[in-house]
Amino acid sequence: MPRFDTAIGRYIYIGVDGVEYRVYFEEAGRGIPMLLQHTAGADGRQWRHLLEDSELQRDFRMIAYDLPYHAKSVPPLGVEWWRSEYKLTKDFLLKFVTTLSHELGLERPVYMGSSIGGHLATDLAMHHAEKFRAIIGLEAAISTPGGFDDQWNHPRISNEYKASAMYGLMSPTSPEKYRRETAWCYSQGAPPTFKGDLYYYSIDHDLTHTAEKIDTTRTPLYLLTGEYDWASTPEMSEELAKRIKGAKYTTMKGLGHFPMSEDPSHFREYILPVLREIKSS
Amino acid sequence: MSLFDTNTIASAANADGEFKLAARFWSAAIRLEVGSDAYLMRMREGRISEFSKADPSKWDVKISAPESDWRELLKPVPKPFYQDLMAAMTRQNFKLEGDLLGFNPYYRATCRLFELMRKAA
């Protein structure tokens, strides 16, 4: 008998600002829907270990998607995208995730994302809190300037550079096989996507003057950051949490910028209590 | 006492499968500054052809930090933000100067070199 992974993938058409995107997602489990957002320049494969978690499958319908231009979500056919520089914006991300949730018929899903997905957690909490049962931001910060750099998309520098740099964002105590897999996926992103995503990460996301406006009475906000994440450090995430009344913050010891893929079993120790709390609330 | 033995590191790197793959075609002079000590590592077509304590005037890339920072970076399990050169540049006292367009394609080779230095330390 063949041994199948439990996750199943398929495509959905999503319209944002008059442009139709063919979007790939994988899902596993049943119960409370949960949208899972990948990091900059990466794709939904980062969540594959969580999707395979049989305990979580009993209570959560986990949905990991590839943003347009990432992995199996190829660029849209309706625009001449090759004529302009790719840039991911906050406006697009907010519209995309809420539209995806609507088109999938999800009723107040949980949202969880890391890095750009962590930043997006706070932006969703600011602008669309009522649409989510709970929001979880991994590796989030008030702002992370300085990342929108030409070195990330230069004709003389291959994708191996990004993969190598991302390898160093992980904890040295995470299992090497998972760190290597995380970096491998990074080496496969289309050349402009990582830098383009960092437009949101480093420029368009900025809660410097607005963080206090996030109202956690509308939906709970959990923030967790890896001890070895030098891009959005625990100190930065904690500072963000201090400015949002009711936000719950945890430093994840021995983890880095990619907790869900660099050490899935260790990440599980941190995220299961959060998900159990969400389930019971 | 030196923080690392250059001959041991050069031999280990030139025999290491990952380093050889990551460093392929790399020719450059890399100056390493460990506090007040200076080293020159010369890469020629993907191999370390020279690695010695020296104070060269010409280099393509310079990586520098106080000795205490190097010691932390080279520990088997470094403290947070010493696990990687970019981390240590961003959050600690490491500096990288020179031809970055020539160096960044070999970032993985450099990180692998540091891993081999950790093993030898």
The neighbour count for residue A75, using CB atoms within 10 Å, is 16
Beta strand segments in chain A, E: 8-16, 19-28, 32-37, 60-65, 110-114, 134-138, 221-226, 248-252
Query: Could you tell me the two tokens for A248?
Result: 């719950």
Assess if residue A17 is contained within a domain.
yes
Tell me how close the Cα of B55 comes to any Cα of chain A, in angstroms.
Answer: 29
Taking each helix axis as running N to C, give the angle between helix A176-186 and helix A159-167, from 0 to 180 degrees, rounded to the nearest 10: 150
Q: Which residue of B has its CA nearest to A154?
A: B101
Model confidence at A34, pLDDT cuts 50, 70, 90, reads very high
> What does the pLDDT look like over A207-257, one tens digit per residue?
999 999 999 999 999 999 999 999 999 999 999 999 999 999 999 999 999
Assess if residue A200 is contained within a domain.
yes
> ipTM of the assembly?
0.96
The overall pTM is greater than 0.95: yes
CB contact under 8 A, B80 and A173: no
Look up the CATH number of the domain holding residue A129: 3.40.50.1820
Assess if residue A13 is contained within a domain.
yes
Assess if residue A3 is contained within a domain.
no
Query: Could you tell me the two tokens for A222?
Result: 């959990």
The pLDDT > 90 percentage for chain B reads 92
Q: Name the β-bridge partners of A110.
A: A34, A134
Q: What domain count does chain A have?
A: 1
What's the rounded mean pLDDT across residues A123-131? 98
Q: Which residue of A has its CA nearest to B75?
A: A172
d(CA A155, CA A95): 32
d(CA B48, CA B28): 10
Assess if residue A118 is contained within a domain.
yes
Q: Residue A102's domain spans which residues?
A: 8-280
Interior/surface letters A227-266, b for 16+ CB within 10 angstroms, e for the rest: bbbbbbbbebbbebbebbeebebbbbebbbbbbbbbbbeb
Q: Which of A163, A164, A168 sits opposite B83 (nearest CB)?
A: A168
Sequence-separated (6 or more) residues with CB below 8 Å from residue B47:
B14, B20, B23
Model confidence at B1, pLDDT cuts 50, 70, 90, reads low
Assess if residue A36 is contained within a domain.
yes
Sequence-separated (6 or more) residues with CB below 8 Å from residue A248:
A220, A221, A222, A223, A241
For residue B55, is pLDDT > 80?
Answer: no
Domains of chain B, earliest start first: 6-120 (3.30.1050.10)
Assess if residue A2 is contained within a domain.
no
Assess if residue A81 is contained within a domain.
yes
d(CA B104, CA A81): 28
Query: Could you tell me the two tokens for A75?
Result: 């660029």
